[in-house]
Amino acid sequence: MRTTLSIHDTLLHKAKEVAAQRNVSVGELVEEGLRVTLAARSKTGRGAVRPLKTFRGEGVQPGVDLTNSASLLEAMEGR
């Protein structure tokens, strides 16, 4: 199945290097990473999403979607 992913430039560059060293495609490397991550989560039971605790604040800033990496990046970079 084909899909589109947003990957930070630095991470993608490193992934391309590792994929070339292993003589595999970036897609195969991503699949391997997903398999390892999902297997580890199923063993530890850490797959459930829990609400984030906040301290001395009003919680998440308005307009920040914690499930959207682009939204988080924009908020951190002050865009």
pLDDT tens digits for 41-64? Answer: 776 665 555 666 666 766 677 777
Pairwise CA distance, residues 31 & 36, whole Å: 9
Element (H, E) at 79: none
Amino acid of residue 18: V
Q: Delimit the domains of the chain by residue range.
A: 7-47
Q: Which two tokens stand for residue 78?
A: 């002050």
Least trusted range by pLDDT, from 2-6, 8-12, 23-27, 68-72:
68-72
pLDDT value at residue 17: 93
Give ∠ CA 1-47-58 in degrees, rounded to 5.
110
pLDDT value at residue 2: 85
